[in-house]
Chains A and B, each alone.
Chain A
Amino acid sequence: MTDPAAAYAASALAGPLLLILAAFACLLLPLFFRPLRGSQGLIAFGAVLTALTFTRRAPSAEFALFSGALLLSPLSAYLWAFVLGVLALVITLSISRPAAPDENRGEYYFLLLTAGTGLMVLVAAGDLFTAFIALELLSLPVYALAGIRRSKPGLEAAYKYFMLGTFGSAMTVMGIAVLNALYPSLAFSTLKAGAAGPLALAGFLLVISGFAFKTALVPFHMWVPDAYEGAPTQISAFMGAALKAGGVIVLWRLFSLFDGGPVREIFWCLAAVTVVTANLAALAQNGLKRLLAYSSVAHAGYIAVAFFGGQRGFEAILYYLPVYAMATIGAFAVTLALEKDDKGPRIEDLAGLARSRPWLAFAMSSFMFSLAGVPPLAGFFAKFFAFTGAVNSGYTGLVVIAVIMSAVSMYYYLRVTVAMYMTPPPDPGAVVQPAGGDTTGPLGAAGLVVGLMAAGVILAGVFSRPLLALAAEAARWF
C-alpha cells in the first residue's frame, strides 16, 4: 500500500471510529461530568460533522482493508457521506424534539451512533460475513431505539420489529453458512466467480430474504408499518432514509452476482409485488406515519426496479437514495412538528394546516409531490433515472407496472395535500396544535431540517447535474 493510500485509509476510517468514540462519550461522559448532562445531542452532532469532514473525496482507486472485509473507494465515500448526512439530520431532529426520556438521552445517542457505525460498515462491506456483522450492529440498536419511549405502541413496535428482524437475521446466517460451505471465501468477488448449484442458490435466496427484510420488500415488509408508527418519529425517519439504504446496497451486490436465471426472476417478482402491494395498502392508511411507512416500502420496490438497469441503474439508485431520504426525512420532520401522541398525527389532523402554518404545509406538499414523482421535483428525476436503466435493459413490463402504481400512489399523497389545503380545520378558529401547543411559535431546529429538505427536493431535480455526477462517479467504483 502506497503512502497516500494509507493516509487516505486512515483518514477515512477515522469516521466510523469517531462515531464509536462519540457513542461511548454520549453514554458515559455525562455520568461523570454533570454539566454535560443534556448536551449529548450536541456531542453526537459535533462528532458526526467531524466524521463528515474525514470522508473527503476518495482518490480514484479501491482499497481493500482487513483482508477485503472493508472496501474503501469513491463509492464508500459517497455512501458514508450520505449516512453521516442522514445521521446529522436525525440528530438535529432529536435535539429539537427529544425522542427519549431525559434519563435515557445518553443511551439514545449511544444507540443511534452505534447504528450509524453499523450502517457505514454495511455499505462498505467487501464480504458477506462482514455485511452480516454490520447488519446486526445496525439492527440491534434500532430495535432498542424503536421502543426507547417504553410507551405501549413503542414497545409493540420494538417487539414486532425485533421478532421479525431476528427471523430475517436467522435466515441470513443460515444462508451464509450454506455459502460458506460451498465457496472458498465469502467475498463478493469470489461469490461471483463460482458456479451456482441448487444448494448455492438456496443459500443465496436465504441471504437475499434476510436483506430484503431490512430493505422492506414485500413480502418481507410486515414489520414496517407497525415499527414506523410505534417508533419515535426521529427513528422512523432514520429507518426510512438510512436503514433501507444499507439493505439496498447489499441487495445490489448480491443481485449483480447473477447475469440471469432464477435469482433475477425472483427479484423481478419481488419488485413487482412490492410496488403493487405497498401502493394498494397505502391507499387505506389514515395515520401519517403508517402512510409514510407504506410509501417507504413502495420506494424500496422502485429501487428494486432500478436494479435491472445494470450500471446505469446503480447510478440511478445512488441518486435515488439521497433524494428519497430528503423527502422522507422532511415528511417525518413535519410529522414530528405536529404530533401530539406516540402514534403521530392522522391525515385529517392536518386539516387547515395551510392556513395556520403555510410554510410547513408548503414544505409538506413538496415532499408529497416529490415522493409521488411529479415533476419538477427531485423525486420525478429519481424515478426517471431509475426507470430509464430498466427500460434500456429490456425490462419494460416491470417499468410499466411501476409507473402505473406510481399513478395509483398519487391518490394517497394527494390526500395529504387535500387535508392541508382543501379541508377546513375541524372547528372554526381551532387550528392544528403542534406538540408545543403554540401554533405560531418557531419550529426550532426541526423547522431548519424541514426547510433544508424542502429546498433539497425542489432544487435537486432541476439542478440534478452535480448530485448525478457524484453518483455516477461513485457508481463506477462498484
Chain B
Amino acid sequence: MELLTNPLSLLIILPAAAGLALLAVPREKTSALKGISLSAAILVFLVSLKLYAGFEPASAAMQFQLDKPWLPGYGVSYALGVDGISLLMIMLTAFLMPLALLASFSYIKEAQRAYYICLMFLEASMIGVFAALDIFVFYLFWEGMLIPMYFLIGVWGGPRRVYAALKFFIYTMAGSVLMLAGILWIVSAHHAASGVWTFSMPALYAGALTREAQFWLFSAFALAFAVKVPLFPFHTWLPDAHVEAPTAGSVLLAGVLLKMGVYGYLRLAVPLFPQAALIFAPWLAGLGVVGVIYGSLVAWSQRDMKKMVAYSSVAHLGIVMLGIMSFEPSAVAGAVLEMANHGLSTGALFLLVGILYERRHTRMIEDYGGLAKVMPGFAAVFMIVTLSSVGLPGLNGFVGEVLVLFGSFKVYPWLAGAAVSGVILSAVYMLGMYQQVVFGPLRHTENKVLPDLNAREWLYLLPILAFIVLIGVWPGPFIKRIMPAANSYIALSRQAAPAAAAVEALK
C-alpha cells in the first residue's frame, strides 16, 4: 500500500498504470486515448503540487522517503526521496507532460495508442530517475527511458528519424554501460569494506575509495552523464534527435531528458567521488564553456529553426555545467534554476516551432517573415519566449544565468568571462531568428493565410508564459527550496577536500 500512498511512488506508478490502461482501449477510440493520457498527466501534475506543498523548504534532508526491499540478496531496494533539486525537476516533468500531450493532439495522426503509451511510460521513467535514491533503481529508469524515447523518435519522427533514433539510443547506451560496471564496482567495494550489500545512494556517499579508484569511476559516470547533458564533444546525437523527434518528443528531450545528465553529476558523480570531482571539475566546466561558445556559433549558422533551438540547448546546458562545477552555492542554485528555465523556454520554443511546422510543413527561417501581420498572438508569445531564452532581466532566463555567472566568476574568472560571450551570442542569433521570422514583409503568399494560435495552443502556451514571468520576477520560493540541496551538494563535494589538500602539500 505504501507504494501508492507515498506521493513519489504514486508519481511513478500513476503514468505507468495509465500506459497499461491505454492498452485496453481500442485503437480507433482516439478521443478516449487522448482523454485518458491527458487526465493521467494532469493528475500527475496535481500530485506533484501536493508534493510541493508538503515539501519542507528549509531542510536539506531527503523528503517523502520510501524504502522497500526489492532484491534483498543484492541489497537493492525501491528507495525514493526528493530534495529541492529533484523536487524542481519532478515538478518540471509533471508540468511539461500535459502540455506536450496537448501539443500532440493534432500532430500525431497514426498509431496513436502506441504513441500515448510511449509518452506515459516515458513520464514514469523520467520521474523515476529524479526520485530514485537507490543507484540500481536510478539506472533502471535511466536506461528504461530509452525504449519509449527511441520509439517516439523512430516511429513518429521526421524524415531521418531512424538514423536519429538509433544514434540517440546507442550513444546513450554506450555511455551508460561503463557506468553500470562502475556501479557494480563501488557496490562491491562497499561490500568488501563493510560487509553489507547496498545500492543506496546515501550509504555509498560515505564510502572511502582510493583516489585512483575514484578517478576511474568518476570517468565512467562522467561519460554517461556527459553524453546525456550533452557536453561538447559528446553532443552530436542531440541535433539529430531534437530535429527528427515529434514536437512532444523534442519538448521532453530538451525539457527533461537533458537535465538528467546534469542531475547525474549532482546526485551521483560528484557526491560519490568527491576527490576525483575536484580534479575533473575545471575540465568539465571548461567543456561546458566550449559548449556555450561552440553551441552558440553553430546555432547562429542554422537556417532550420528546430536545429537552432537544439544547438542553443548545447549552449544553455554548458552554462549549467559551469555552474555546478564551480561548487559555489549561488552558482549551483542558479544552475539548477537554469535547468528548469531552460526546460520552460526551450520547451516553449519547440512548441512554437511545432505550431509553425504544423501549418506550413517547413522549419526553414527563410520560408517565413512578416508573421506578425497574420499571427499577432503567435508573434507576442514568441517574443516573450525568445527574450526568456536570451536572458532578458525580468524573465526567468536572466535569474539563472546571472546567478551562475556571478557565482562561478569567483572560481573560474576566465571561464565565466568566456561564457558571457556565449550569452551575448545567444541574443544575436535568437533575436536575429525572431526578426527574420516575425518582422519584415510577408514574402511568401502561403504565409498570408496562416491562422493565429487556436484555443488549444493558447491553453498549452499560457501556463509556460505564466511561469516564465513568475520565475523572472519572483524566484525566491524556488531558490529557497534549491539552496539547502545545493549546499549539501557542495558539502558532499568538499568531504575530500582536506585529503586533496594534503596531496597538494606533499607535492
State the A residues within 8 Å of B (CB): 354-355, 358, 369, 374-376, 380, 384-385, 387-388, 391-392, 396, 399-400, 403-404, 406-407, 410-411, 414, 417-418, 421-423, 464-465, 468, 472
Contacts and interface: CB of A to CB of B under 8 A. Distances in A.
B151 interface: yes
A430 to B, nearest CB: 18
Given A374-B144, A380-B143, A404 B73 contact: no
Given A388-B188, A465-B71, A472-B73, A396 B143 contact: no
A109 B165 CA distance: 45
Interface string B107-118: 000010010000
A399 B173 contact: no
A403 B170 contact: no
Contacts of B191: 392
A411 B166 contact: yes
A464 B71 CA distance: 8
Interface in B125-161: 136, 139-141, 143-144, 146-147, 150-151, 154-155, 161
Contacts of A355: 111
B177 A403 contact: yes
Contacts of A375: 139-141, 143-144
Interface string B84-120: 0000000000000000000000000001001000000
A422 B140 contact: no
Contacts of B74: 385, 388
Contacts of B165: 418, 422
Contacts of A400: 178, 181
B181 A399 contact: yes
Contacts of A421: 151, 154-155
A410 B177 CA distance: 11
B181 A391 contact: yes
Closest 10 CB pairs of A and B: A403-B177, A391-B184, A392-B188, A375-B140, A407-B174, A375-B144, A407-B177, A422-B154, A422-B162, A375-B143
Contacts, number: 87
Nearest to A399: B181
A38 to B, nearest CB: 38
User: Max chain A CB contacts within 10 Å: which of B73, B136, B143?
Assistant: B73
B180 to A, nearest CB: 6
B41 interface: no
B151 A399 contact: no
B365 to A, nearest CB: 29
A385 B70 CA distance: 14
A200 to B, nearest CB: 33
A414 B166 CA distance: 7
A388 B166 contact: no
User: Max chain B CB contacts within 10 Å: which of A358, A376, A387?
Assistant: A376
Contacts of A376: 140, 144
B368 interface: no
A113 B267 CA distance: 55
B71 A396 contact: no
30 contacts: A355-B111, A358-B114, A374-B143, A374-B144, A375-B139, A375-B140, A375-B141, A384-B136, A384-B180, A384-B184, A385-B74, A387-B181, A387-B184, A388-B187, A388-B188, A391-B181, A391-B184, A391-B185, A392-B184, A396-B181, A396-B185, A399-B181, A404-B177, A406-B177, A407-B170, A410-B169, A411-B170, A414-B170, A417-B150, A423-B162
**Dominant secondary structure at the B interface:** helix
A384 B177 CA distance: 11
Interface string B170-203: 1001100110110011011001000000000000
Interface in B48-78: 70-71, 73-74
Nearest to B174: A407
Contacts of B71: 464-465, 468
Contacts of A384: 136, 180, 184
A16 B118 CA distance: 46
A399 to B, nearest CB: 5
Nearest to B155: A421
Given A374-B144, A465-B71, A468-B71, A403 B181 contact: yes
A322 to B, nearest CB: 17
Contacts of B146: 374
Given A392-B191, A403-B181, A418 B162 contact: yes
Nearest to B188: A392
Given A410-B174, A417-B154, 10 more contacts: A355-B111, A369-B147, A375-B140, A380-B140, A388-B187, A400-B178, A403-B178, A410-B170, A411-B170, A414-B166
Contacts of B139: 375
Nearest to A358: B114
A364 to B, nearest CB: 14
Contacts of B174: 404, 407, 410
Nearest to B23: A362
Contacts of B111: 354-355
Nearest to B165: A422
Interface in B11-38: none
Nearest to A415: B166
A275 B141 CA distance: 26
Contacts of B173: 374, 407, 410
B260 to A, nearest CB: 15
A421 B110 CA distance: 12
Nearest to A390: B184
A390 B402 CA distance: 48
B121 to A, nearest CB: 10
B134 to A, nearest CB: 13
Given A375-B144, A472-B73, A399 B184 contact: yes
Contacts of A396: 181, 184-185
